[in-house]
Chains A and B, each alone.
Chain A
Amino acid sequence: MSAVVLLTLTGLGLAALYFLVASGLSLVFGLADVLNFAHGLFLGVGAYATWWAAANLPGAGSDGFGFVVAVAFGVLAGALVAVLVELVLIRPLYTRTIEQVLVTVGLSLAGVALLQATWGADARPFPRPSWTRDVTGVLGANVPNAGLLLIVAAAVVLGGLLAFLRWTRYGLVIRAGVENREMVTALGIDVRKAFTLVFALGGAAAALAGALGGVYFGTVSPGQGGSLLIFAFIVVVIGGMGSVVGSAYAAVAVGLLQQFVNYYGTSGLGDLCVVGLLAVVLLLRPQGLAGKVATA
């Protein structure tokens, strides 16, 4: 029983990490039709900015409120880089899909190389509050607090995103734009501002995943974003390209499947099963679980 609880909660922790990366990726694709392979860079920026801020930024640190300040700095850095990428590199290429893919793939490779050149290729220990190294007893299972932190953070981000999409003017524009971008412009709305906003939101969520992923894994390394991005793409496709709630469901399915199969089967089989799940969804429901509706 305790093994099932532990696997469920660690699976949900992994799902939370996937969701934080995938939610922004999904909104960017749903609204702007951009397959952003540079999304993992925002995660890397968030992780390294948090790591740097904890040691160097006045008021920031590795514990207590100082850690909150460090994470906030990382999230801000991720959002800022995402906005710059959108404004400088993506915006001139909105009508050119192949060039978009080339630029974002190139940027992701260049970003990893830049992080390596600046801070080295080796994983570095991540500053994290002492309580995140402890475990909490849940129904007889000792669950790592870092995993619980990820679950809570993802739930807050999901709630915040849904509230934003449902109750704000820009949220309305994004939901409409995911359905029919052209018609949004035909109502007199400059949809490019919404593009920038979803990049900022996606960048912030990915950067938060970077910071909390550092807490979860205990280290930060330049390639972390790329490996998580692969599963995030799978989550986006399974969930429905453009759907935040679909991403949440798909992240939970992928996280739990990976954990349980890797534990009860052989290590690595979980990843294979995830690819199998992707194939099944593509065959039976190519539009994904939720289809192309932002809040469905």
Chain B
Amino acid sequence: MSVEPVLAVEDLSVRIAGLHILQGVSFTVAPTGVTVLLGRNGVGKTTTLRAIVGLTPRNGEVRGTIRMGAQTLLARPTHRLVRGGLGYVPEDRCVFAGLTVAENLRLAERRGTTPAYDKVFALFPELDRRGRQRAGSLSGGQQQMLAIGRVLLNDNRLLLVDEPTKGLAPKVVTEVAEVLERVAESVPVLLVEQNLAVVRRLARDAVVLSAGKVAWTGNAQELLLETALTKSLLGVGSGEVHA
């Protein structure tokens, strides 16, 4: 019996400022666990996530179909997609530097739902302790915790997480990976990640992009065992990166 995917991307094409960044990308995201989106720099991983959540730039053009369950996502405004259960943790965290940690979290509360502060503070006790601190003065790791914590305040049907370990110290990378592992037990995650050690730890399925197209899909662990394939698709051998 086939399992219905939580997200189905079909023939997705994105043009921005005349550049054809995605050229007919199709893949699905399983309803449980972590699906990782891999590829070299500039192949369109972040563009894919942003297209899913409706954040393609104004001068961009998006075509294709994106479905979450029975819902078609394209052409729906971002705030509605997010309220409908699509959580998004952007690349570079994007916390509101001038607001306090508590204000960043309060902003993420959705009307009509009870925010899960207990869950967030259990995962990130640091956020509870630093509630009155300006988010701009947090370390990179703490900002990443805040960015993930904001999304986890609400119930989500799918999380899109873009390079959560980028620029973080190895110890913090491990902490973030642990949190994502726990999060993925209750909500499916579509993850963009360059750190193959993190991919090895978290991902069940993988989609590899190359030059704006899907170059490979399948089991992430099997991909990482194929050193030659990994090297040809990602430009780095799976054995070369350690946590």
Contacts and interface: CB of A to CB of B under 8 A. Distances in A.
B46 to A, nearest CB: 13
A133 B108 CA distance: 51
Interface in B129-181: 150, 154
A120 to B, nearest CB: 43
Given A175-B99, A176-B96, A185 B90 contact: no
A89 interface: no
B79 A191 contact: yes
A186 B150 CA distance: 11
A185 B77 CA distance: 9
A296 interface: yes
A63 interface: no
Nearest to B93: A183
A183 B99 contact: no
Nearest to A188: B82
A183 B106 contact: no
A175 B135 CA distance: 13
Chain B, interface SS category: loop
A176 B99 contact: yes
Nearest to A189: B79
A186 B96 contact: no
A167 to B, nearest CB: 11
Contacts of A95: 58
Contact of B79 (A175, A188, A293): A188
Contacts of B106: 172
Contacts, number: 56
A182 interface: yes
A187 B98 contact: no
B110 interface: yes
A84 interface: no
Interface string B89-118: 010001011110001001110100000000
Nearest to A184: B107
Contacts of A173: 107
Given A179-B98, A296-B98, A188 B83 contact: yes
A187 B107 contact: yes
Interface residues of A, number: 21
Nearest to A96: B58
A104 B110 CA distance: 34
A32 to B, nearest CB: 14
B99 A172 contact: yes
Contacts of A293: 98
A180 interface: yes
B160 to A, nearest CB: 10
A185 B99 CA distance: 16
Interface string A165-182: 000000011011001101
A99 interface: no
Interface in A142-199: 172-173, 175-176, 179-180, 182-191
Interface residues of B, number: 22
Contacts of A188: 79, 82-83, 108, 110, 154
B209 interface: no
Contacts of B53: 186
Nearest to A97: B58
B225 to A, nearest CB: 36
B78 interface: yes
B228 interface: no
B241 interface: no
B88 interface: yes
B58 A187 contact: no
A24 to B, nearest CB: 20
A185 B79 contact: yes
A176 B79 contact: no
Contacts of B94: 180, 183, 186
Contacts of B88: 186
A293 B53 CA distance: 26
B243 interface: no
A187 B96 CA distance: 12
A179 B96 contact: yes
Nearest to B58: A95
Contacts of A179: 96-99
A179 B95 CA distance: 9
Contacts of B215: none
Interface of B: 53, 55, 58, 77-79, 82-83, 88, 90, 94, 96-99, 103, 106-108, 110, 150, 154
Task: Enumerate the 9 nearest inter-chain pairs by beta-carbon distance, A residue then B residue, closest first.
Answer: A188-B82, A185-B78, A188-B83, A293-B98, A95-B58, A183-B94, A176-B96, A190-B79, A187-B108
